[in-house]
Structure 1
Amino acid sequence: MTAASYKFMIPIVFLLMIVASGFAQSGAGFQKDYRLLRSSNGIADKGFYWFTVIGQTPAIQKLLAADPTLSGFCKARISLLRSHATDTCSWASSMLTDFRFTIADSAEVANALLSLYRANTAAFDEMINHQLRPSGCYQRFIAGSNEKFLLDAWSQTIIGINFIIDRYGLGKRLRYYAIDSASYNINGEYYRAALKDLFAWLSEGADTMNLFFQPSLTIAMQLMALNDRDEAARFEPLEEGENKAAAAAVRSTDWKKYKFATIVVPGEGPELTTVALDPLGRMRCNLAIARYHDGLAPFIIVSGGFVHPFHTPYAEAFEMKRYLLTQGIPESAIIIEPQARHTTTNLRNANRLMIRYGIPITMPSDIVSTKSQIDYIVLPQGHFDQRNLRELGYLPYKEKNRISIHEASYYPVMESLHMDPYDPLDP
């Protein structure tokens, strides 16, 4: 594993941890029959799934609420939340910074979780073995023991919460600033007033929080809401909506008839706010239509979210589906993936749907796109590979191979299921 693949970790935290002792279910990961749990917050479900599981696991809730260290964190941050509802703090930095988890905070929580796990192994193993491992959301952690799995999940959570507070509260620059940034000037008068009102509003419900992560998670989720950044949850659950017909068709597909499992079409974001489907996106759809009619694959996966221009009302995948329908492609053959914001996540997210819907990843899939994008994906200098390693920490494909001027084949990898704490708009 490359150095980049360890980007989730906070080494200082793990220097404080004792080597994991048990190996219960080590190596067990995604199970095809597992159904993801849902809470009232779809964004939190996508980025912080083990908190969703805890919310539906009373035994673990009770243990976390009773722990002196963890309950101390919760009480201190609730007190802070209430104080900001009425104090004179008026800048984002003064109101939000202390809801981040410092290295010392993280280590203290990790040690408390470790002690709880060792004193209540059966209860935690039940949650990990029957929910977290089979969910696939932490697929990159499955090689370790349950003890290490728990600590790795916590380490990733710290990154995710801090990342949201830093970017959508404190104004730190995102990698793709032009499309992913905060909606407002965080030091502007409107945003400062909105934050103050947010704290006053949240203080009314503070009594309902009794778990150590809830104050900081609530702040993070409300920062996303304040910026209208709910892209990660739009169209969900896909298998009950836009992808219902195709997900049902997967179960009766005779895969032996096809060369490829799917045709994957990455989207192209329009440059104009008045354009729903970019001309290059339409061109890519036409290329896919020809290959579908040639019988190469039973499904077309169109991938792309609400990306260009900034805060566009159009999702690339949804608009491509609309176009495919007008060209006679049946809805049962179209799978939309409406969250990807970059070429790296086009493939990763398409893989996720293949795996969860039961499309065989032992068959290759066919990436179909315009020449310039296929050139980039298969560039011999490996820039695309390097970008995936840098941004995701792994390659979401194997045996990538150019087929034609407009095509490249590849095999999906299971690691694609793993949540990404560095991309709250598409974790």
Structure 2
Amino acid sequence: MRLAAAALMLACVPAAAAPAGDRVVAALSHRLFPLLDALGGDPVATARLEAQPGVAAMLAARAARRTACAQDLACLAQAMVWTPEDGAALTAAVPANASRADDGARAQAAREIEGINTILRTYALNQVPRYPQIDGAGILDPLELRARVQAADWLARTPRDGSAQALDPSVEFTLALLDVSDRTDAIGFEPITGGFNAPAVRRARTLDWSRWRYSALILTGVGPETPDAALSPYGKYHVRLAADRFARGDIAFILLTGGRAHPRATRFTEAEQMRSALIDRYGIPAEAILIEPYARHTTTNLRNATRVLAAIGAPLDRDTLIVCNPGQSETIASPAFAQRNLTELGYEPGTVGRRLSPTELEFRPSPKSLRIDPRDPLDP
């Protein structure tokens, strides 16, 4: 009887509660830091990583630097930054099979560590980002900046299911910085194969790609500069160019690329607005239109278009056609644009081919475009 009673009492004791999940931050973590998210969220993987030579000591030294800051928030944010030595120790310990990146797991780990540092410097340490007109948090009152950093610190100390906090709190701290700054742009349209793209994705499953001269017409964005403008003047021109060229019937899809960038914090997403115009004004069917709603630069217009094509199963060894205004077309065809890609992305997102007219260029996508790079946390 006593044994039975004891067993009953044990059965009534609740199991230890798991930390609460946060769907927004979890999605942001997976999107920005796929490798660190997977390693940090797995206790077994975390333990194996910490067991590698030099990693435990490096993480302990980072923890000591944070502890020494006490209540100094600027010191704490700086202590979260990964030094070159910190980053080298972690990347050297990352398993070779930890990422699907074409250049390997260690290269991906290095990008993610650089991404953490970029977010810390931009959103906590008030450094000027590469494109200050559209990047970062803008001009903030010092009290508001302090409130955001303090909230990020508290959030990074509060458990979250699936978080990389056990590995190092810098990942959670940077995610919190983006969250409290309302800059979760990177997950605004996930999954990319759903939502507005669902009709085209269903159609793509039935296509014989060999029947089409071009797998897609990539229509680049030109963002407006006024807050209430849904489409810029150039954007309206681009839409008509696309409708006219698509009417020839040799292109499988119109792929619209342009995010929510101009002006800062605009409520309009350019690709979404171009899609509405193509359907409402030109009668293009929804199943013929794909949107890429994240790109904020011409470089990432092409990179992200490649990602959408890969997501729908389109062959990347076939040409696409870039359609845009003559000035932008000339820029894309120039050696300076190729160099800009190498500087900002680290590679060319594809091969720019023949310029068929002032508004048309052939483009062969590159699988290198599938690399995730959180150094641009609004569009990794």
Q: Same fold (TM over 0.5)?
A: yes
2:317 maps to 1:336: no
Structure 2 SS opposite 1:362: coil
Structure 1 SS opposite 2:291: strand
Contact 1:351/1:416 (8 A) holds in 2: yes
Q: 344, 349, 371: which one pairs with 1:391?
A: 344
Aligned residue for 1:45? 30
Deviation at 1:393, TM superposition (A): 1.5
Contact 2:258/2:293 (8 A) holds in 1: yes
Q: 226, 232, 238: which one pairs with 1:284?
A: 238
Aligned residue for 1:412? 365
Aligned residue for 1:230? 184
Q: Distance in 1 between matches of 2:268 and 2:210?
A: 36
Q: Distance in 2 between matches of 1:418 and 1:301?
A: 20
Q: 76, 81, 97: which one pairs with 2:78?
A: 97
Structure 2 SS opposite 1:317: helix
Any idea what the Cα deviations from partners look like across 1:361-409, whole Å, max 9, x if unmatched? 2221111111121121123xx1111111111121112152101121111
Aligned residue for 2:202? 248
Aligned residue for 2:175? 221
Q: Distance in 2 between matches of 1:407 and 1:82?
A: 57
Aligned residue for 1:298? 252
Q: Distance in 1 between matches of 2:265 and 2:238?
A: 23
Any idea what the Cα deviations from partners look like across 1:82-121, whole Å, max 9, x if unmatched? 887xx542xx52230001111232234345x26xxxxxxx
Any idea what the Cα deviations from partners look like across 1:22-75, whole Å, max 9, x if unmatched? xxxxxxxxxxxxxxxx99522222221112333565542442366696456666
Corresponding residue pairs, total: 357
Any idea what the Cα deviations from partners look like across 1:207-233, whole Å, max 9, x if unmatched? 996755440001111111122111111
Structure 2 SS opposite 1:302: strand
Q: Distance in 1 between matches of 2:81 and 2:158?
A: 21
Q: 110, 116, 132: which one pairs with 1:161?
A: 116
Q: Distance in 1 between matches of 2:164 and 2:226?
A: 47
- Stretch deviating more after TM superposition (297-306 or 93-102): 93-102
Q: 150, 172, 178: which one pairs with 2:133?
A: 178
Which runs of no fewer than 5 residues in structure 2 stay unpaired?
A: 1-22
- Stretch deviating more after TM superposition (69-78 or 274-283): 69-78
Q: Distance in 1 between matches of 2:43 and 2:142?
A: 42
Q: Distance in 2 between matches of 1:377 and 1:61?
A: 43
Superposition CA RMSD, Å: 2.7
Between Structure 1 and Structure 2, whose CA radius of gyration is higher? Answer: 2
Amino acid of the structure 2 residue aligned with 1:330: P
2:301 maps to 1:346: yes
Deviation at 1:297, TM superposition (A): 0.4
Structure 2 SS opposite 1:98: helix
Contact 2:257/2:301 (8 A) holds in 1: yes
Structure 2 SS opposite 1:273: coil
Q: Classify 1:299/1:168 alpha carbon distance in 2 versus 1 (closer, same or farther; 3 Å).
A: same
Contact 2:148/2:177 (8 A) holds in 1: no
TM-score using structure 1 length: 0.76
Q: Classify 1:75/1:412 alpha carbon distance in 2 versus 1 (closer, same or farther; 3 Å).
A: same
Aligned residue for 1:269? 223
Q: Distance in 2 between matches of 1:255 and 1:204?
A: 49
Which runs of no fewer than 5 residues in structure 1 stay unpaired?
A: 1-37, 115-123, 142-148
Contact 2:257/2:291 (8 A) holds in 1: yes
Q: Classify 1:76/1:184 alpha carbon distance in 2 versus 1 (closer, same or farther; 3 Å).
A: farther
Q: How does 1:12-91 map to 2 (within 5 A)?
A: 41-54=26-39, 57=42, 59-64=44-49, 70=55, 88-89=71-72
Any idea what the Cα deviations from partners look like across 1:184-229, whole Å, max 9, x if unmatched? 42x7122113322442344343899675544000111111112211
Structure 2 SS opposite 1:336: strand
Contact 2:39/2:164 (8 A) holds in 1: no
Amino acid of the structure 2 residue aligned with 1:93: A
Structure 2 SS opposite 1:351: helix
2:318 maps to 1:363: yes
Q: Classify 1:375/1:59 alpha carbon distance in 2 versus 1 (closer, same or farther; 3 Å).
A: same
Contact 2:257/2:295 (8 A) holds in 1: yes
